Structure 1
Amino acid sequence: MVNGMGTAALAGVGAGLGVAVPLGAVGVLLLEEGRRGRAAAVSAASAVAFVDMAYAALATALGSRLASALSGWEAWARAAAAVVLAVVAVRGLLGLRRAPAVGAEPAPGAAAGSGPGPEDAGAAVAASGRPGRVFLRFAALTAVNPTTALYFAALVTGGGAGALSGGSYGAATGAAFVAGVLVASLMWQQLLAAVGVSLGARLSPRVRRVTYCVGYGLVVYYAVCMAWTR
């Protein structure tokens, strides 16, 4: 039993890295969130890992029934994900337009250091960056991506994760697999968050504005690609 659980846990680590490491739209958004603050970035990374774990648990519990349930709905799920990503990107870009201009001179008569200054080019966007809201937003963004669910369903039903739903210790090995997915995904997502925080602390406000535009532009690109995928 112990050997079986260890094998399942290692399979879960591999599966978690397999779904987490490829940098997609959510990964780009996670890096952007890191540039706004550590607390929000940690919350966002935890949300992504939580959804990965939930899909792994669902796939382990339901197996082939999950793949059958998703069959025929992939196009609709991709369309919904594309819309969500496009809305996030457009809102982010509009928020940058409303943010104070970088290097703008203070209003006449304004005391130096008084009132809010352009410390962060994404300040208008970051106003909604409370950890709780960030967690829900990233959980929703990850959940609407059908690739994650299909990935774990194919892995489990194809035997790539071992016989997790069969045998005398099916529940135990399944739990070990899911735990491995959570650990691997959480470590990777937190690494991305830390990279985003580190970059945000070193970049000037003007460069941060440019990186926000590039990042949200990539999200728009991912949304278009997702919408046009056949």
Structure 2
Amino acid sequence: MTSAALEGAVAGLGVAVPLGAVGVLLLQEGRRGWAPAAGGATAVAAVDGAYATVAVLAGPQVAALLAGHEGTVRLVSALLLGAIAVHGLLGLRRAVEPAPDASARGAGRAFLRFTLLTAVNPATALYFTALIAARGTGTHAGATAFVTGVFLASLLWQHLLAAAGAFAGARLGPRLRRVTYAVGYGLVGLLALRLAL
């Protein structure tokens, strides 16, 4: 169970750490105060956890369909994760600009707004589906530990962003943004290598 939780934590950080438009918006939300930023942070982590849960629940059906083709599944999943990592790392060459920010007050409204912003990202769903198809769901306890690891790692990272926005006025420069991209997509690349090997 500990191994599954750690795998989930690494997977959660792999999808959470790259600082895209939602992350920049979360930093900016901090200017409105801690409560709205924390609401937004919780929403992002909740969507990550929900996508991981859906991937785990669909895992047995996917596994039954792909029985006997495990090697191919691992290779395809590794290639998919590798493509996500490469695409993200290539994004280091261009600046990440936040989307226009609508005015929102309070943690509840921020939670709803960030839920919608995060839920429309299909890459997150593909990411967790590829991981689960390759690793399998294991036991019920292992699957629960994996999802919990994803959620808690994402929640921790998103709340760190919220705190940074609240305390530092969301003044994150391009250099630090590039570092977060490299770290996050580097984690995705490491997961791809682990699956391939």
1-structure distance, mates of 2:52, 2:22: 18
2-structure distance, mates of 1:40, 1:18: 24
Residue of structure 2 equivalent to 1:151: 127
> Any residues of structure 2 matched to 1:1-230 within 5 Å, and which?
5-63=1-59, 89-90=99-100, 92=101, 125=103, 128-159=104-135, 163-164=136-137, 166=138, 170-200=139-169
Letter in 1 for 2:111: F
User: How far does the alpha carbon of each residue in 1:94-124 deviate from its partner, in whole angstroms, 9 at most, with x for none?
Assistant: x7xxxxxxxxxxxxxxxxxxxxxxxxxxxxx
When the two structures are aligned, how many residues end up with a matched partner? 141
User: How far does the alpha carbon of each residue in 1:107-161 deviate from its partner, in whole angstroms, 9 at most, with x for none?
Assistant: xxxxxxxxxxxxxxxxxx3xx22211110110111011001100000111122xx
Question: Is contact 1:52–1:185 with CA below 8 Å preserved after alignment?
Answer: yes
1-structure distance, mates of 2:110, 2:60: 33
Letter in 2 for 1:196: G
1-structure distance, mates of 2:6, 2:49: 14
The SS at the match of 1:22 is: coil
2-structure distance, mates of 1:62, 1:178: 13
Structure 1: 5+ residue runs without aligned partners?
69-87, 96-124, 201-207, 216-230
Letter in 1 for 2:128: F
- Compute the TM-score of the two structures, normalised by the length of structure 1: 0.56
The SS at the match of 2:32 is: coil
The SS at the match of 1:23 is: coil
Letter in 2 for 1:150: L
Deviation at 1:171, TM superposition (A): 1.2
Residue of structure 2 equivalent to 1:112: none
2-structure distance, mates of 1:33, 1:186: 16
Report the structure number with the largest CA radius of gyration: 1
Structure 2: 5+ residue runs without aligned partners?
66-97, 175-197
User: How far does the alpha carbon of each residue in 1:23-73 deviate from its partner, in whole angstroms, 9 at most, with x for none?
Assistant: 11110110010121100000100000000000001101102868x9xxxxx
The SS at the match of 1:149 is: helix
Residue of structure 2 equivalent to 1:121: none
2-structure distance, mates of 1:26, 1:9: 25
Question: Is contact 1:64–1:153 with CA below 8 Å preserved after alignment?
Answer: no
CA RMSD of aligned residues (A): 2.7
- Compute the TM-score of the two structures, normalised by the length of structure 2: 0.65
2-structure distance, mates of 1:14, 1:65: 24
2-structure distance, mates of 1:175, 1:64: 14
Residue of structure 2 equivalent to 1:120: none
Structure with more of its chain in helix, by fraction? 2
| Structure 1 ranges of 4+ moved more than 6 A | none
- Percentage of pairs with the same residue: 56
Question: Is contact 1:45–1:190 with CA below 8 Å preserved after alignment?
Answer: yes
